[in-house]
Chain A
Amino acid sequence: MPRGDSGASARRVRLGLGALLALAAMPVPGRAQTLGMRGWAGTTIQAVEMRPLAQVAGGCIEGEACYRPVGEQLSLIGTQDVSLTAWGFGVEGLSATLYMRGRAGMGSDFVWPRSGDHFDALLGYAQWIRSGWTVRLGRQEIRSGLGFASFDGASAGWRVGTWHVEGYGGRSLARGLRDPAYKALEGIEDFLPDQNVYLFGGSARGRVFGVTSTLRYQREILADRSGLAAERASFDAATTLPRVSLAGGIDWDFGRQQPGKSHLTASSPFGGGRWMASVSARRYVPYFSLSTIWGFFEPVAYHEAMARVGWSATTSLGLWASGGWRLYGDTETTTVLRALEDTGWRGEAGAAWSFSPVWTVDGSYRVEWGPGGYLSSGDGSLRWSPSDRYTLAVTGTAFQQIEQYRLGDGRAYGAVFTFDAGLTSRVTFVGGASMIRHSVEGDGVESPWNQARGWSTLRIAIGRDAGRANRMRR
């Protein structure tokens, strides 16, 4: 990824500002629709102090290089997010959405991921909704059974009754980034075609016999039409029966000519709503663009069965537990010395208890065992919420993490302090600090997980109806 690409960043800044000015300059007649705006701005500073690994001579295995932590290094990054949706430009149903992010390293010893990309227009589109039609023009995202896709282009949807059809197309942007892949991944990913990829897709959604389902097809082609980057389809459905909710989905990768991911989940409350249980079956296989060699290495899928149960004993006490077992497909590879594991399992249990109107204690334990990694982790938190506007919490954590294919193991212990303050109805300030210390065992590498982190976000809601701020935490 190009770092410090100031020319491109400046162009994007100009584009973003230009779009804002264009919106501001649009005529606003009196009656048709009052000018409205909703949004937020968030300023975040994050810091981490850690000891990165570096190759050193005279390794852990005789004759091989070895990785050892170097001295402590500090990295700081500041991020500014601004999200705005405005409407009432004189055309009924017309709105504009912008979501911009700026970031910059702040005197770091090492480079924070993506800090060289100083400006991203995450979203920037004009939308017109009227009489069942939804039309969008600009930078937009689609999150679907096929995952996440973003593009610069146009989309149009038409709703009639419970049916909705949609078509979209434009220049594809790298997943999780906001540039064409060949630009965004330059220097990171080899062999990418030096050209744009265009994305086209469509979906049909409807509700029949109480089942809501969506069928989607999506195709990405190279600009010179010399090949495909992806061609996939998905079908997802959900319904709520009197006692159980069902959700399922499957996708098909035409590029690899095989099914992709699929899942089926059944959830049901019982015991007067105090219990919630769900069982699910899932097939997971990674998706790679056909523009990379990864998919042609033929990754195998795993199939997983999972059960979850939650119990709200009282309004102030809740418990939950989950467990899953998975089986990997045949890798068709020759193993030396010993076979690879081809099964894995995971489990988690937790509880939360509000033992007074202002105090809550919660804790959870998680264990995971499978090819590649083992984790045994527990944590406990004590939260103090003297009012709806303020919360302080301290969390203690301990975990043991073994990664089969690399370094030795050990135990780590940590503490986290967090705060969440609603300074006014529109201004919130959240943040925290954490410290992890690694207790080395055996021949494990010294202190690979030792780290200290700090973060804070000041968030200001803008305009009317800005109440649905994202404050979710898992």
Chain B
Amino acid sequence: MKLLRLPLPAAITGVALLCLGVGFASGLAPRQEAPFPHQDHAGLFPVCAGCHQGIDNGDVEAMYPAPGQCAGCHDGSDLRRVTWTGPSERVSNVRFAHGDHASELADAGDPATSCASCHADASVGRMAVTDATQLETCWGCHAHQRDDHFADAPAAECASCHVPLAESRFPIERIAALSAPADHNDPDFLASSHGVAAAGDGDGGTRGVDASARCATCHTSDRCVACHVDPGLTEIGAIPAAPLDMEQPEWASAYPTPASHETISFQATHAPEGSSGTAECATCHTSNDCLSCHVEPAPDPVEALLSRSESRAPGVHLEVTSPDTHTSAFFLSSHSNLAAADPGTCATCHTDSYCAQCHDGPADGGYHPTTFVSQHSADAWGRSSECASCHSTAAFCRECHQESGLVSQGRLEAGYHDAEPLWLLRHGGAARQNLESCASCHQQNDCVQCHGVLGAYRVSPHTADFDAEAAWAQSPRTCIACHTSNPLGGG
């Protein structure tokens, strides 16, 4: 039997290493029902490398003896047969290569390291092989603490010992049982600091390095895109995705509100500046969120976001709500002030058609309360709101007043203004105070009948300060309505 021709110590050493430690690097471990009884074979294998000769050079095929080699002795006659069929797949996320490790130790001045240094109980003997997966063995040198060994370790050091979770082949139970570093319990961790940590220093092409070194140890990128709407972040790309056959826990998507969104002016000033701003929005928002308020066709930054149907993550799911400004009892009567100053803000959510529903003479009342029409005259006199914002004073008011019998019908008598004796002698002041009300019943010619140069009284309607030259320069036709010719020329 070839195995018996190996030097015994080398064979024993090799078997021990293969059974206990090799799996770290190779992902393989003995599939036997019970640990290999190294001690029972101590006399047969003088060296570990006899069975595990691939350990030093990384030759996976040679790390364990072939199953048939056991049958050389365990042939069922002298010795019972064994059922070992070769090393089974080993689930681990530890990055370990014996050859490299030995070299590093040698470089560090510890060349005497042998297989037994880690894999055997020194007090018993070389073949008293223990399970090297007992991590205390590692920590004996690496000075880590079991439960929080990642607490103080620099982010980049995770990857020194661990492969990404996506490469670990951890079962779902083991993924779910992974401990969380202390900083994950920080109230700001989800909202902000996890992104900062993942980005690392972020500059000089190193963005995402920390993510790949630290986050990837316990997370696949699938965890990121369970919340992140935009999967294109460099940090997310640096974290390997889970293989298709890797079962993962169900993650609840959470979108904590960032502090920046809580400011009083956020709603008015949230428009992202440049593509970097849009990218930040894309962390939590789909374009559907924007379109819950913004009217389509949407602004450029909205078009840059993924839609809900395109995103793996659900996004925040914003619902349309009125801005704080709109909830005031006085908003409807005062909204014109804001609209005049910043029409762009209105246009964010409202189309012209929306405004036109009221401002273009609504068919169903709209702005005014239901009892308004019968008592509108006081409002009209006082102009608490500007009628002309929606109505043509000449057409809308006069036409209705005419049909209601309120319009002067050619005679300028006091009949309508019957509560005012000598109305004609007093009407000038009232007209200057509320000329729009006059015009809501009277046509211009009603006035010209007395005020025009051809009129009955030729009473000037102008004040002493009236700039006739300017008026003539701007609108000579209007001057002629009363004066029949250029008044500056004596008309």
Contacts and interface: CB of A to CB of B under 8 A. Distances in A.
Contacts of B356: 83, 99, 122-123, 141
Between A55, A113, A328, the greatest number of chain B beta carbons within 10 A of the residue's beta carbon is seen for A113
Given A184-B392, A190-B481, A249-B337, A113 B399 contact: yes
B174 interface: no
Contact of A331 (B367, B433, B475): B433
Contact of A240 (B265, B329, B374, B461): B265
B76 interface: no
Contacts of A331: 428-429, 432-433
Interface stretch (A5-13, A18-26, A383-391, A399-407): A399-407
Contacts of B428: 331, 333-334
Given A405-B419, A468-B320, A129 B299 contact: yes
Interface residues of A, number: 171
A265 B334 contact: yes
Between B380, B382, B422, the greatest number of chain A beta carbons within 10 A of the residue's beta carbon is seen for B382
Interface in A58-107: 59-61, 64-67, 69-70, 75, 79, 81, 83, 85, 87, 92-95, 97, 99, 101, 103
Contacts of A55: 405, 409, 411, 415
Interface stretch (B17-25, B61-69, B464-472): B464-472
B433 A299 contact: yes
Contact of A374 (B351, B378, B394, B479): B378
B389 A474 contact: no
Contacts of B332: 472, 474
A320 B291 CA distance: 34
A218 interface: no
A1 B381 CA distance: 25
B375 A474 contact: no
A91 to B, nearest CB: 10
Contacts of A131: 300
B381 A177 contact: no
Interface string B195-224: 000000000000000000000000000000
Interface string B444-461: 110110000000000001
Between B265, B350, B359, B475, the greatest number of chain A beta carbons within 10 A of the residue's beta carbon is seen for B475
Contacts of B333: 474
Nearest to B432: A331
Nearest to B438: A294
Given A111-B403, A148-B359, A372-B381, A292 B478 contact: yes
A298 B432 contact: yes
A436 B366 contact: no
Contact of A265 (B337, B355, B467): B337
A227 B389 CA distance: 25
B176 interface: no
A430 B378 contact: no
A81 B363 CA distance: 8
B419 A335 contact: no
A52 B406 CA distance: 8
A4 interface: no
B167 interface: no
Interface in B379-423: 379-384, 386, 388-392, 394-396, 398-400, 403-406, 409, 411, 413-423
Given A190-B444, A296-B478, A161 B340 contact: no
Nearest to A78: B363
Contacts of B481: 190-191, 293
B289 to A, nearest CB: 13
B433 A340 contact: yes
A281 interface: no
A308 B332 CA distance: 13
A389 B380 CA distance: 35
B264 to A, nearest CB: 6
A291 B371 CA distance: 35
18 contacts: A38-B296, A52-B403, A61-B421, A148-B388, A184-B395, A188-B443, A205-B343, A228-B474, A228-B475, A240-B264, A276-B330, A280-B334, A293-B461, A297-B431, A320-B329, A377-B371, A405-B420, A412-B374
Sort A-B residue pairs by CB-CB distance and give the 9 closest, nearest first.
A53-B405, A372-B381, A375-B378, A176-B392, A238-B341, A79-B363, A65-B415, A145-B340, A331-B432
Interface of B: 264-265, 268, 273, 291, 295-297, 299-300, 303, 320, 325, 328-330, 332-334, 336-345, 349-361, 363-371, 373-375, 377-384, 386, 388-392, 394-396, 398-400, 403-406, 409, 411, 413-423, 425-437, 439, 443-445, 447-448, 461-464, 466-467, 470-471, 474-479, 481-482
Given A140-B352, A368-B382, A405-B430, 12 more contacts: A36-B297, A55-B409, A95-B296, A143-B359, A190-B445, A205-B344, A236-B337, A290-B474, A375-B377, A405-B427, A468-B350, A474-B367
